[in-house]
Chain A
Amino acid sequence: MTDTNISTNSKAKAIAAIVLPYLLAILASFVASGIFIAIMGFNVPKAFATILFTSFRTPNGFIQTLLKFIPLMLQALAFTVPLAAGKFNIGGEGQLIVGGIGATAVGIIFADLPLPILLPLVILAGVIFGGFWAAIPAWLLYRFGINEILTTVMMNFVSFGLIDYVATQIWRDPAAGHPTTIPIGAGGELPMLISSPPLHSGIILAIIVAVGVYIYTNRTSAGYELIATGANPRASKVYGINTRKMFLLSLIIGGGLAGLSGAIEVAGYQHRLIEGLQSNFLLLGLIIGLIAKGDNSAVPFVAFFIAVLEIGASAMQRTMMIPVEMVFIVEALVLLFVLLSDVIRRR
């Protein structure tokens, strides 16, 4: 009896030790950004209420948040999974774009196939194309030891050219003012869970993937090898882990996750490829991954929190004319304070 008491007690303490710094960091960042907002002459409590509660006040707000949450979380995982093996994937947006291209291509070329066949193909194409886009830097690293940070970033720029070519040359939709492709076949669209306000089934896919990543990294021998490689590649090699293969694999998995986010944007949301679909997901994904300190199981929660901030920020801009960049400041400050709390705790 006392034994279980002690263990639940210490578990609660352990959780508090993890969550408390986060709460303090969030609080501190709100105080700091509140000062900015006040200086700019806006109503601080109202601004914060908008940022924090827009997501929860209306069904539409909540669904908007979920829709934002999907790509953010996948982008963050595309960063943190390779990070677990000690590799930096800064190519998430390129992999998203190329994944989106793959999904669109399949969705247009096989437009007549029925949903049970076309939808899986569209999604799979996104994953494979995204994985392939990451496999190029991964292979350059494996074969020639070329630093993956440089190559993944550069692959982003190549993807910008690629999407432009696809959206203005191959499958251009002449009716659209912005570089956009023609729509994919109806069988390639993710079914709706709720029709109004619209929520597509990509959210289920995203949650399954998040759980899958957690199981892979925390519960399997292969995931153990990934984490061991990140913790000490030399020791992992001495103890029989093929670390170079782990580097390769982790980057390709990351690319596949980013590619999936591109496929979901296409199949769930746009139903076509629109230039600029990558938005600023890469940057936010990095911020989420870093706030989560690379912990894959924390990523979904942090991603949801950032999605709330993002949705709140656009509402704040609409209703109060506070520039949406304000929320970038909040996000950056949260990151800063989380990192700071680490430094303080270590002493």
Chain B
Amino acid sequence: MTKSIVLQMEGIRKVFGTVVALDDVNLQLNSKEIHGLLGGNGAGKTTLMNVLFGLYKPNAGKVELHGEKVEIRSPKDAINNEIGMVHQHFLQVDSYTVTENIVLGTELKSWPTLKLEVEADQIRALSEKFGLAVDPDTIMSDLPIGVRQKVEILKALYRGVEVLILDEPTTNLTPQEVDDLFESLRVMVDEGLSIVFITHKLREVMSVCDKITVLRDGQNVLTEDRENVTEKSLVKAMVGEGLNVEESVVFSSVVSGAETRWGASEFGEPVVKVEGLHAQNEDSIVVIKDCTFEVRQKEILGVAGVAGNGQQALAECLMGVCPIHQGSVIVDGMNVSETETRDLLEGGVAYIPQDRLLDGFLPTASVAHNLILGYQRNQAYSNKGFLDWKIIFQSARQQIDEYTIMTPSAGDVAANLSGGNIQRVMLARAFAHPSSFLIAHNPTRGLDIRSIDFVYKKLFERKEAGAATLLISEDLDELFRMCDRIATIYSGEIVGILEKGEFDKYEIGRMMSGVKAND
């Protein structure tokens, strides 16, 4: 069966100031195809899709749909041409229902009653057909991030699409949710849709994509059928000769808790002592129940669990952001319930929040501003309350180099950074300031392989230097690879802690669903 070409992007070029984000890029999408779009952070994936969706006007190049040239000048044009996009960082109205969010900006059939029953039924039908389980009547803010992702997809489907763009849809999903999503994608393709799927996870590419295009530094490097590539060849295409696979943590460590050359060591004194910790959120709902654990010098303690089981509350309790209701948390001699967050930061606690945009990013400020958030009163940067911008810019430039943050200058507005480069800012901020304890919550989210490797090496360096780390992650492979012990959290409770050597996917999987260890 020969497939017909749905979409053809040719010679696309996009320049931002001095940055050439896309240089003569081509993309061809066949009908009923899932097309993987890969590339390192800042390679231009999002920019290319934003051009297709009418958000950016390309400096050169053309777009053809079914062989006919089209001008897409705005998202409205894109939608009229049946192109839909789910953004890497999407925006939703928290106080609206799912239905209201989905129909926002469309013509309402129930106008002017605003009852939205017809629409809700239609959404229900769509969600059933494609296996995207969502209740149209729930308020958005009550939904976990994984379901919000589905709402975004439904939003596109509701508008009627032939081409669906998914920009890193899996970064916030649990493995189970990813599997469900892939099933839904297959149904969509069977229904005649064509999909562009952006991800950094090679396993996902290999399991769901029919065809793959790799970008590097804004240029095409490879377009192949899935059958003709391997994970290794894709890595090579993405990073060039830049990654030494032998030296890489990602590729060399054995995923089973066996010794690696970065592995075991003698632990030191406890840096963090958490005892009988209880915490509630703003609505007085218990989010942390009776947690007790220690993190020692030279130790990486992992926290496994399905997203939304209290991981963020735990991190924020340790950071002094979420109030401690009962119990005690001592970090490096500081009693957290009596210490301001800023003093914890100054006293050597570093934090990588999981939701970089919401919890760690100043979009309208410069990259340099962002790199010192929380450290603005640090003696390195300020003298008697006055900021020393010369030093701040110097160290910003250093960090931009070391953490390969892709930006024209330290003074550039941070909103221009690509998703992965925003994550690199979070990392630079946490790693560049000396700390005896680091809380890293999904630190590799949205990063390309080379950057992930870099993060792992940094974590091991800390360990060797004697620091303590709490690594909260939904990625079991990551935890197995990095941690000395893994605690599993389920609805705010630590269900069990396993030592290296006892790590077991099934055991942890059981604990993640609430079954106590040794039950």
**In this assembly, does B342 line the interface, its C-beta being within 8 Å of a C-beta of chain A?**
yes
- Please, which residues of chain A bring their CB within 8 A of the CB of B91? none
For the complex, give the distance between the alpha carbons of A230 and B56 in Å.
Answer: 27
**In this assembly, does B223 line the interface, its C-beta being within 8 Å of a C-beta of chain A?**
no
| Residue from B369, B373, B374 having most chain A Cβ neighbours under 10 A | B373
Knowing A237-B321, A238-B353 touch, does A220 contact B361 (C-beta < 8 A)? no
Q: Is the CB of B316 within 8 A of A221?
A: no
- Please, which residues of chain B bring their CB within 8 A of the CB of A93? none
**In this assembly, does B341 line the interface, its C-beta being within 8 Å of a C-beta of chain A?**
yes
For the complex, give the distance between the alpha carbons of A232 and B373 in Å.
Answer: 11
User: A221's contact among B359, B363, B387, by CB below 8 Å, is which?
Assistant: B387
State which residues 210-225 of A face B: CB under 8 Å: 219-222, 224-225
**In this assembly, does B431 line the interface, its C-beta being within 8 Å of a C-beta of chain A?**
no
User: B344's contact among A220, A234, A237, A240, by CB below 8 Å, is which?
Assistant: A240
**In this assembly, does A297 line the interface, its C-beta being within 8 Å of a C-beta of chain B?**
no
State which residues 56-90 of B face A: CB under 8 Å: 56-57
Tally A-B pairs: CB < 8 A. 78
Knowing A220-B387, A221-B382, A238-B319 touch, does A232 contact B361 (C-beta < 8 A)? yes
User: A240's contact among B57, B342, B359, by CB below 8 Å, is which?
Assistant: B342
For the complex, give the distance between the alpha carbons of A341 and B72 in Å.
Answer: 21
User: B373's contact among A222, A239, A347, by CB below 8 Å, is which?
Assistant: A239
**In this assembly, does B351 line the interface, its C-beta being within 8 Å of a C-beta of chain A?**
yes
State which residues 235-268 of A face B: CB under 8 Å: 235-241
For the complex, give the distance between the alpha carbons of A72 and B407 in Å.
Answer: 38
For the complex, give the distance between the alpha carbons of A230 and B363 in Å.
Answer: 10
1/0 per residue, CB under 8 A from A, across B237-259: the answer is 00000000000000000000000
Q: Is the CB of A221 within 8 A of B385?
A: yes
User: A231's contact among B57, B358, B364, by CB below 8 Å, is which?
Assistant: B364
Q: Is the CB of A347 within 8 A of B57?
A: yes
For the complex, give the distance between the alpha carbons of A301 and B456 in Å.
Answer: 50
Closest A residue to B408 by beta carbon equals A10
Q: Is the CB of B369 within 8 A of A224?
A: yes
Interface size (A, Cβ < 8 Å)? Answer: 20
- Please, which residues of chain A bring their CB within 8 A of the CB of B340? 240
The secondary-structure label for the interface of chain B is loop
User: B351's contact among A221, A228, A237, A238, by CB below 8 Å, is which?
Assistant: A238
Q: Is the CB of A235 within 8 A of B373?
A: yes
Q: Is the CB of A234 within 8 A of B358?
A: yes
**In this assembly, does B376 line the interface, its C-beta being within 8 Å of a C-beta of chain A?**
yes
Q: Is the CB of A347 within 8 A of B376?
A: no
Knowing A221-B387, A240-B374 touch, does A235 contact B351 (C-beta < 8 A)? no
Knowing A224-B387, A228-B362, A235-B361 touch, does A240 contact B369 (C-beta < 8 A)? no
Knowing A221-B382, A227-B369 touch, does A235 contact B344 (C-beta < 8 A)? no
User: B316's contact among A236, A238, A241, by CB below 8 Å, is which?
Assistant: A238
- Please, which residues of chain A bring their CB within 8 A of the CB of B353? 235, 238
Knowing A221-B385, A228-B362, A231-B364 touch, does A239 contact B57 (C-beta < 8 A)? no
Q: Is the CB of A232 within 8 A of B362?
A: yes
Q: Is the CB of B359 within 8 A of A234?
A: yes
For the complex, give the distance between the alpha carbons of A240 and B347 in Å.
Answer: 12
Q: Is the CB of A228 within 8 A of B56?
A: no
**In this assembly, does B345 line the interface, its C-beta being within 8 Å of a C-beta of chain A?**
yes
Q: Is the CB of B376 within 8 A of A225?
A: yes
For the complex, give the distance between the alpha carbons of A222 and B342 in Å.
Answer: 13
State which residues 385-419 of B face A: CB under 8 Å: 385-387, 389
- Please, which residues of chain B bring their CB within 8 A of the CB of A230? 364
- Please, which residues of chain A bring their CB within 8 A of the CB of B362? 227-228, 231-232, 235-236
| Residue from B55, B316, B342 having most chain A Cβ neighbours under 10 A | B342
**In this assembly, does B420 line the interface, its C-beta being within 8 Å of a C-beta of chain A?**
no
Which A residues form the contact surface with B (CB < 8 A)? Answer: 219-222, 224-225, 227-228, 230-232, 234-241, 347
Which B residues form the contact surface with A (CB < 8 A)? Answer: 55-57, 316, 319-321, 340-345, 351, 353, 358-365, 369, 372-374, 376-377, 381-382, 385-387, 389
Q: List 15 A-B contacts (CB under 8 A).
A: A219-B386, A220-B382, A228-B365, A231-B363, A232-B358, A232-B361, A236-B362, A238-B316, A238-B351, A239-B345, A239-B374, A240-B320, A240-B341, A240-B345, A241-B342
CB-based closest 4 A-B pairs:
A240-B342, A239-B374, A240-B341, A231-B362
Given contacts A232-B361, A239-B345, list 11 more A-B pairs with CB under 8 A: A221-B382, A224-B387, A227-B369, A228-B365, A231-B363, A235-B361, A238-B316, A239-B341, A240-B342, A347-B56, A347-B57
